[in-house]
Amino acid sequence: MIQQDAIVFDRITKTFPGTARPAVSETNLVIERGAFVTIVGSSGSGKTTLLKMVNRIIEPTSGTIYLFGTDIRQKPVTELRRSIGYVIQQIGLFPHMTIEENIATVPRILGWSRQTIEARVNFLLDLVRLPASYKKRYPRQLSGGQQQRVGIARAMAGDPDVLLMDEPFGAIDAITRKELQDEFLAIQKQLVKTVLFVTHDMDEALKLGDRIVVMHEGKVLQYGPPFHILSQPATPFVSRLTQSDNLFRQLDLIKASEKMIPLNGREDANAPHIHTRDSLKKALQTLLQTNADDIIVIDDAGQRLGKITLEQLRLTDR
């Protein structure tokens, strides 16, 4: 293991009492620091069990999980959980506490000063795009989407390096869900946490993840970048899971940064450009509109990082 690895699953197996088949079987995974990893699979595939073993809500039957190089069993459970953010579909806000008090739960336990806690609450409310006036409200006074924003803020309140998210947007309407996905991507870009995000929705997995874990019947069938999962499915199950009749939908879910190739110095100085976060759909539309041979991919500073060509995009069409 190397220092940049945030979470390492080393031959992790979990078999629940009274069951013959392991919920998670002999799983080896390396999650790098700062990665956004989505875990997707059918119901009962083991994805939530895998997630909950990281903060020891579920204990593995065998194997070891390392958090930044340390066996998680070497820490007291309460200390471990305070160091990991956890967001679930049911949100789990304390109904008798105000929004401010909910967010401040972990910082208070950690012994932060009142001024530091207040500053952290204000920062997080602004980060999740909720007005400061909401601090004195109670969860019942907020919509489902607003409550989930508070849940995200509370999970990040102690400034953890790792966030575990178990279908956090699953119970929210489609429009609000898209908004929360976009906002959380912006938050991740700003804070760069290590995120493990469980979802049953392949579109959500493709949109959010830098890398995707595909699970089925307790086993990891494939682990890699979204474009690789789409273009080179490892098994028939993965192929069925990712299959779509809508090529443009798939292109819209893959970031330009995933598919760009190195510059060779012969590119047109006036070639069109897109951002690393823009989709391949936008890249294709720009190429067709400008009749260019390739399109340059740039970062926030305007630096030219690579390019995308029409030939590359053809590989997406399976």
Domain assignment present for residue 94? The answer is: no
Give the per-residue pLDDT at 318: 41
122 and 183 share one domain: no
67 found inside a domain: yes
34 and 124 belong to one structural domain: no
* Domain encompassing residue 293: 251-314
Give percent helix, percent strand, percent coil of the chain, each to the nearest 5: 40, 25, 35
Region class of 176: left (phi > 0), else alpha (psi between -120 and 50), else beta: alpha
Which among 155, 177, 194 is the end of a domain? 155
pLDDT in tens, 258-313: 778 888 888 777 889 999 888 888 888 888 888 888 899 998 888 899 999 877 77
Q: What is the CATH number of the domain that holds 292?
A: 3.90.1280.20
Residues 294 and 248 sit within 8 Å (Cβ to Cβ): no
Same domain for 61 and 177? Answer: yes
- Per-residue pLDDT, 267: 79
Clarify whether residues 141 and 211 are in a common domain: no
Shared domain check, 151 and 35? no
The two three-digit tokens of residue 205, written as one number:
């997995």
In this structure, are 46 and 16 located in the same domain?
yes
- The pLDDT tens digits of the residues spanning 144-185 come to 889 999 999 999 999 999 999 999 888 788 888 888 898 898
Q: What angle do CA 228, 25, 239 make, to 5 degrees?
A: 30
Same domain (yes/no): 231, 178:
yes
> Are 230 and 185 members of one domain?
yes
In terms of Cβ atoms closer than 10 Å to its own Cβ (0-12, 13-18, 19+), residue 183 is middle
Q: How remote is the C-alpha of 176 from its chain's centroid?
A: 17
Dump pLDDT digits (tens) for 53-93: 999 999 999 999 999 999 999 999 999 998 999 998 877 88
Q: At a CB cut-off of 8 Å and minimum separation 6, what does 289 contact? A: none
Residue 198 inside a domain? The answer is yes
94 contacts: CB under 8 Å, gap ≥ 6: 101, 102, 105, 139
Backbone angles phi, psi at 166, to 5 degrees: -110, 95
Cβ neighbours of residue 96 closer than 8 Å, sequence gap 6 or more: 138
**Six-digit token pair at 138?**
């109670």
Residue type, 210: D
Classify residue 57: in a domain, yes or no. yes
The reply to whether 65 and 178 lie within a common domain is yes
Residue 90 falls inside a structural domain: no
| Total structural domains within the chain | 3
Say yes or no to pLDDT of 246 above 60: no
Residue 215's pLDDT band, with cuts at 50, 70 and 90, is very high
Q: Which residues pair with 122 in a beta bridge?
A: none
Q: How far apart are CA 100 and CA 221, in angstroms?
A: 42
Rounded distance, CA 204 to CA 208, Å? 6
CA distance 195 to 29: 14
